[in-house]
């Protein structure tokens, strides 16, 4: 049996849905990293893996330490956001994706603990166990593990945005909202788990390329990317090296999931001034926005 990661819904998308109701949510900082998880099933620990269920060799050295830290009585999943201090996402993305080199400074930021046979367990109960697990993990992992704290528990939208703005002022990415009373929904995307970010950020599929003009004639001018509903956009922002490599070897980029940032999303679904940020090696085509 597989247990696909629960997906996160944008807060503005949730509010646009009919009959949306703001429940009571735990507010947590959204780290700008890779989501990683590790499962304990039938007495055996698995490997740290990405949301795409791919083992990550660069953090394999932490698997044994996790196994030494915990011996759960139930089948369990621990979910982390992996970061490296003082490293931007586009750099982190490359480091974690290495197959033959350790990501030696990685920090596993624990934010949820799922009992795989009791997914109805509410987040407020899951977080209690996450706290216990963290105390046990840090004995063996030390500085390699942190617990993402709960900033507040509220159903007040004004307070939610107050915390969001305070995170931005500190240079953070945004916040995640987890329904305090809700269980965990494998593979679903609903209002029980939402995020708020300053910019419009989309994970889109690369479906083609356009030749450039002027200085970029004869090389890549723009990527053609597509959203889940079929809306297409042309994005730039690639480096000269990326333009050259991808134009000559289109299989390196076409079919990949890329993160695109834009000023805003317009009512017709188009993006204002979309720019390529990075390849999302941790995501599959089934997870595009």
Give pLDDT tens digits for 3-38.
999 999 989 889 888 889 999 999 999 998 999 999
Over the stretch 88-136, which tens digit does the pLDDT of each residue have? Answer: 887 898 899 998 899 989 999 999 999 999 999 999 999 999 999 999 9
Q: Which of 259, 260, 265 is nearest to 283 (CA)?
A: 259
Residues 6+ apart with CB under 8 A from 272: 200, 262, 263, 264, 265, 266
Q: What is the pTM of this model?
A: 0.76
| Reported confidence tier of residue 211, pLDDT bands at 50, 70, 90 | very high
Q: What is the mean pLDDT of residues 164-183?
A: 91
CA atoms of 235 and 270, how far apart (whole Å): 11
158 backbone φψ class: left, alpha, beta (φ>0; ψ -120 to 50): alpha
The pLDDT mean for the chain works out to 93
Question: Higher pLDDT residue, 268 or 248?
Answer: 248
| Reported confidence tier of residue 263, pLDDT bands at 50, 70, 90 | low
Least confident of 92-101, 173-182, 184-193: 92-101
Residue 197 confidence (pLDDT): 81
Question: Higher pLDDT residue, 113 or 198?
Answer: 113
Residue 239: count of CB within 10 angstroms of its CB: 9
Q: What is the mean pLDDT of residues 270-278?
A: 84
Residue 265 confidence (pLDDT): 79
Residues 6+ apart with CB under 8 A from 86: none
For the chain, domains (ranges, CATH) are: 7-197 (3.30.470.30), 200-287 (2.40.50.140)
Residue 198 has pLDDT above 70, yes or no: no
Residue 254 confidence (pLDDT): 97
- Write the DSSP string, 62-93: GHHHHHHH---SS-EEEEEEEE-TT--HHHHH
Alpha helices in 2-156 (DSSP H): 11-15, 63-69, 89-96, 123-141
Residue 90 confidence (pLDDT): 76
Residue in the structure block whose two tokens are 């507010």: 27
Q: What is the mean pLDDT of residues 178-184?
A: 98
Q: What is the mean pLDDT of residues 52-71?
A: 95
């Amino acid at each position: 049996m597989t247990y696909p990661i629960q997906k996160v819904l944008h807060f503005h998308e949730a509010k646009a849905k009919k009959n949306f109701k703001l429940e009571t949510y735990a507010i947590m900082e959204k780290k700008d990293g890779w989501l990683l998880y590790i499962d304990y099933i039938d007495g055996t620990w698995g490997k740290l893996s990405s949301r795409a269920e791919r083992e990550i060799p660069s953090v394999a050295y932490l698997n044994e330490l996790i196994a030494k830290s915990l011996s759960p009585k139930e089948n369990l999943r621990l979910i982390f956001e992996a970061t490296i201090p003082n490293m931007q996402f586009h750099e982190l993305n490359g480091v974690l994706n290495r197959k033959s080199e350790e990501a030696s400074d990685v920090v596993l930021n624990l934010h949820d603990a799922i009992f795989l046979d009791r997914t109805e367990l509410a987040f407020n109960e899951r977080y209690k166990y996450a706290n216990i697990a963290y105390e046990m993990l840090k004995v063996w992992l030390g500085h390699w593990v942190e617990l993402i704290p709960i900033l507040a528990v509220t159903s007040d939208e004004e307070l939610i945005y107050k915390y969001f703005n305070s995170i931005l002022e500190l240079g953070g990415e945004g916040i995640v909202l987890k329904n305090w009373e809700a269980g965990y929904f494998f593979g679903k995307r609903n209002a029980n788990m939402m995020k708020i970010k300053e910019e419009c950020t989309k994970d889109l599929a690369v479906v083609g390329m356009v030749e450039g003009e002027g200085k970029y004639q004869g090389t890549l001018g723009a990527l053609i990317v597509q959203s889940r509903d079929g809306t297409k956009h042309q994005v730039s922002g690639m480096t000269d090296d990326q333009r050259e490599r991808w134009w000559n070897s289109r299989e390196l980029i076409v079919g990949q999931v890329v993160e695109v940032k834009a000023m805003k999303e317009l009512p017709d679904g188009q993006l204002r001034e979309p720019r390529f940020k990075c390849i999302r090696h941790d995501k599959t085509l089934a997870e595009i926005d």
